[in-house]
Structures are given as structure tokens and as C-alpha cells.
Amino acid sequence: MYSLMANCCNWLKRWREPIRKVTLIMVGLDNAGKTATVKGIQGESPEDVAPTVGFSKIDLKQGRFEVTIFDLGGGKRIRGIWKNYYAESYGIIFVVDSSDVERMEETKETMSELLRHPKISGKPVLVLANKQDKEGALAEADVIECLSLEKLVNEHKCLCQIEPCSAIIGYGKKIDKSIKKGLLWLLHIIAKDFDALYERIQKDTTEQKAAEEQEKRERAERVRKIREESYLCIF
């Protein structure tokens, strides 16, 4: 009877929890398997995906969370757009190609640059050590060592979880259990610190919008001056 009452109380508590809307960003080098991962989470087949140019977005419901995931392109020329999404992000999913040993140093440098950004430092990070199905893929401990992961996350005060996985082995309900486990961990950490993260995100997004508006005004002023000077040259 006590167990039944406890279960009922827990269910009632969860039912009363508000729906929380959170934004996550999924980043990593090109060809790490980000789009395959996000498609698998969404319930679509992760096979035969094209490289992401710019970004793609999915929305899903996970428990009491309404989650938006931005899958951001990982090519060198595209990584510059990542910072546009930092302010609104509650957490980060960083996908690593565990089989691409030659690019581990580039991965490390990219992750270091990401975590030291003021709008990312302190936010939770899920690292997916993807492509474990590939021959020669690095084990979890080796990925941690190659990325100096423990040092990086401690330095920037980011709670972190690493999950070895393979994004192509299934999708939807049959998705790699490590991906599902990692996503649930990330949302759990966000839930524990939701109020503080929410306040920070409101502040950061307000500041970012103000900076963008200021940049827009300055650009318009520069264009006006150029047109004015061109007009004077004509006459």
C-alpha cells in the first residue's frame, strides 16, 4: 500500500511540473554524424544523409520538455554561425567521429574554442563518441584523453557526460540506447538548474539582440554615407 501511494505521489508531482521549452545545439566537425544523430532522435532513418549547409532544426517532446535542437553545420567555413545560437542554448550536444583519429586535434581545438565562449561556459555538455561501429574507432577512455576532455570541462565549469554510440544502428524507439541515455542525462541536468539557466538565457539573448540591432544601425549608416559621397561625386 505504501509503495502504491508513493508511486501515485510521484506521478502526481511529475504531472504538475510545468512544460519547459529548451533549445539545444548539436555541433561537431563535418562528417561527425550530427545529422544522422538528430534524424535518429526524431525517428527518421539516419542513412544517406547529406552534409548540413548552415543549419537544420527539429522539435520534439521528451517527458515534460518541449525540445528544439539546432543541427549546425560543421565545415570550417560554417562554424562561424555557431555563435549566433549560443545565447539561446540550454545545453550542447557535441558529436565526435571516434573513427577519425587524424582529426582529433582539430576536434579538440574546436571544442576548446566552443567551451571558452562566455555564452557557453558553465552550460552542460553531452559528448557523443559516434561511429563506434567503425573499425579502429577510439574507445571512450581514448576519446577523453585525445580531447583532454576532463581538463576542458573542469576549466570552463561545464558538467559533462560522454556516451560511446553509433547513430546509424537504429532510429526512433530503436535508436542507440547510449544516445537516448545521453539526451535524458542532458535534460535532467538542465531541469535541476533550469531557473538559473533560464535567467542567463534571457539576459544573453536580450544583449545579443541589442548588439545585432546596433550593428544593423551602424551598417545602415555606413551605406547612407557611401551613397551620399557617391551623390556628391556625381555633382
For residue 50, the model assigns a pLDDT of 58
3-state SS of the chain: helix, strand, coil percent to 5?
50, 20, 30
Same domain as 185, residue 207: no
For residue 235, the model assigns a pLDDT of 57
Confidence band for 234, pLDDT divided at 50, 70 and 90: low
* Residue range(s) defining the domain that contains residue 235: 201-235
Q: Write out the H or E segment, with its range, that includes residue 16.
A: helix 2-16
Same domain as 212, residue 176: no
Q: Supply the mean pLDDT for the chain.
A: 88
Residue type, 178: S
pLDDT above 60 (res 98):
yes
Strand residues in 39-193 grouped as ranges (E): 55-62, 65-72, 91-97, 125-130, 160-164
Among 1-10, 80-89, 120-129, 165-174, name the one with the lowest average pLDDT.
1-10
Q: Is 174 exposed, middle or buried (0-12, 13-18, 19+ CB in 10 A)?
A: exposed
Same domain as 57, residue 110: yes
Task: Give domain status of residue 149, yes or no.
Answer: yes
Task: Give domain status of residue 67, yes or no.
Answer: yes
> Which residue did the predictor score with more confidence, 48 or 128?
128
Same domain as 155, residue 103: yes
Residues 6+ apart with CB under 8 A from 149: 111, 127, 143, 160, 162
Q: Does 40 count as an annotated binding residue? A: no
Q: Does 32 count as an annotated binding residue? A: yes
Same domain as 89, residue 172: yes
Q: Does 172 count as an annotated binding residue? A: no
Same domain as 31, residue 58: yes
Cβ count near 79 (within 10 Å): 18
Average pLDDT estimate for 163-172: 89
Q: Does 177 count as an annotated binding residue? A: no
Same domain as 169, residue 98: yes
Same domain as 32, residue 64: yes
Same domain as 153, residue 126: yes
Same domain as 214, residue 140: no
Q: Does 31 count as an annotated binding residue? A: yes
Q: Does 29 count as an annotated binding residue? A: yes
Task: Give domain status of residue 84, yes or no.
Answer: yes
Average pLDDT estimate for 168-184: 89
> Which residue did the predictor score with more confidence, 14 or 63?
63
Average pLDDT estimate for 99-120: 97
Q: How far apart are CA 203 and CA 218, in angstroms?
A: 23
What percentage of the chain exceeds 70 in pLDDT? 86
For residue 174, the model assigns a pLDDT of 82
Task: Give domain status of residue 36, yes or no.
Answer: yes
Task: Give domain status of residue 11, yes or no.
Answer: no
> Which residue did the predictor score with more confidence, 32 or 169?
32
The residues with which 97 forms a beta bridge, in sequence order, are 130
Task: Give domain status of residue 98, yes or no.
Answer: yes
Which residue, 175, 192, 209, sits at the end of a domain? 192
Task: Give domain status of residue 162, yes or no.
Answer: yes
Which residue, 192, 212, 227, sits at the end of a domain? 192
Average pLDDT estimate for 219-230: 76
Task: Give domain status of residue 156, yes or no.
Answer: yes
Confidence band for 232, pLDDT divided at 50, 70 and 90: low
pTM of the model: 0.86
Q: Does 186 count as an annotated binding residue? A: no
pLDDT digits (tens, 9 = 90+) for 1-10: 445 454 544 5
Same domain as 146, residue 124: yes
Average pLDDT estimate for 82-95: 97
Q: What is the CATH number of the domain that holds 103?
A: 3.40.50.300
Indicate the number of domains in the chain: 2
What percentage of the chain exceeds 90 in pLDDT? 66
> Which residue did the predictor score with more confidence, 98 or 49?
98
Same domain as 177, residue 230: no
pLDDT above 90 (res 12):
no
